[in-house]
A = this chain, B = another copy of it.
């Protein structure tokens, strides 16, 4: 089931770039790291029109394409060379689910957001010869990667748009994400990550889907049946048909690996925990985009970080879909994001 899911058929077309043995921040390494990505548009001769968009938790380059890329959108392939890149651990790039024994499954090494960004930097420079990206953007864990890019490689991007995410996880966010991990790993069928097949862990995945739904959408989405637009009837019908359905084909070790990466993200590792120093070094023109109804990343926490970024602007959007407006189900959200991105790209 997971093989069919993590496939060209479901998420393609995508390409893969081999980075060889890759040393991780933790000191461990990934043998033969593969980074899966999809591109749209053409790189200009001056190599100055490239946009990098890393994936979020449990998503792939495909949903980024469907929700953000297209003619008439801010990310228009007629104008930009758009690189949608899949996180390590998410099933298309090197991951617990596709790494052979003995290093796969529960033995896949611990990856940090910084590792993704270092690998992406190599992809961008070695594969495409791009020294400076026109824009790096991303939502949620994609925002974590965007912040890490802006802090770690300040000269390598002209603009940044972290959406609905934080440069450093708050204690609240870490508690919440740990509860997502617990929902999966507490399933006795998880067996410390050594399950015989991913589908055996479906109870844990379903439980995870429900706690995720209860905090990821806004209360109003449920209370006004906003999900009826997508053809769902009751809360249960929606949570089963939309949220459980999203997670059930995925690999539990992949999800747990991603959640641990989400939980531990922190751009200030490179400045001994000094967040102001880390964000103070950002040189990209930055629009920090917050979703007012976001239960994962409350506005106050996002704004506190935005104020530490020189010359940055806070842009607020509103959606009953809350954090999960990122998925593109809300036309008003999509239009608002395009407005902000267009303005940023024109800057």
Chain A residues in the interface with B (C-beta under 8 A):
170-176, 178-179, 182-183, 186-188, 203, 207, 210-211, 213-215, 219-223, 225, 234-235, 239, 295, 298, 300-301
Q: Are A235 and B171 in contact (CB under 8 A)?
A: yes
CA distance A187 to B178 in the complex (A): 17
Task: Tell me whether B215 and A175 are in contact (CB under 8 A).
Answer: no
Docked CA distance A178–B234 (Å): 15
In the complex, chain B residues whose CB is within 8 Å of the CB of A295? 295
Contact of A186 among B178, B179, B187, B225 (CB under 8 A): B187
A301 and B214: CB pair below 8 A?
no
Q: Which residue of B lies closest to A188 (CB)?
A: B188
Using known A-B contacts A214-B175, A214-B215, determine if residue A207 contacts B182 with beta carbons closer than 8 Å: yes
Can you list 26 A-B pairs with a CB-CB distance of less than 8 A? A170-B219, A170-B222, A171-B222, A171-B234, A172-B214, A172-B219, A172-B220, A174-B235, A175-B210, A175-B213, A175-B214, A175-B235, A179-B211, A179-B214, A182-B207, A182-B210, A183-B183, A183-B207, A186-B186, A186-B187, A186-B203, A188-B188, A211-B211, A215-B215, A219-B300, A295-B295
Most B C-beta atoms less than 10 A away, residue of A186, A213, A221: A186
Docked complex Cα distance between A274 and B173 (Å): 38
Q: Which residues of B contact A179 (CB under 8 A)?
A: 207, 210-211, 214
* Residue pair B170, A223 in contact (C-beta under 8 Å): yes
Rounded to whole angstroms, the CA-CA distance of A176 and B187 in the bound complex is 19
B186 contacts A207, C-beta separation under 8 Å? yes
Whether B175 contacts A223 by the Cβ 8 Å rule is: no
Excluding A172-B222, A175-B214, 7 further A-B contacts by CB distance (< 8 Å) are: A171-B235, A172-B223, A179-B207, A179-B211, A179-B214, A182-B207, A186-B203
- A214 surroundings in chain B (CB, below 8 A): 172, 175-176, 179, 215
Question: Which residue of B has the minimal Cβ distance to A227?
Answer: B171
| Nearest neighbor of A207 in chain B, beta-carbon distance | B182
* C-alpha spacing A170/B234, complex, angstroms: 12
Whether A219 pairs with B182 at a CB distance below 8 angstroms is no
Contact B298 A219 (CB under 8 A): yes
B171 touches A220 (CB 8 A): no
Contacts of A186 in B (CB 8 A): 186-187, 203, 207
Could you say which residues of chain B place their CB within 8 Å of the CB of A174?
235
Asked if A222 contacts B175 (CB within 8 A), the reply is yes
A300 to B, closest residue via Cβ: B220
Residues in B neighbouring A183, C-beta threshold 8 A: 183, 207
Docked Cα-Cα span, A220 to B170, in Å, equals 9
Least CB distance from A213 to B in Å reads 7
Q: Contacting A210 at CB < 8 Å: which of B178, B223, B301? A: B178
A238 to B262, CA, bound (A): 22
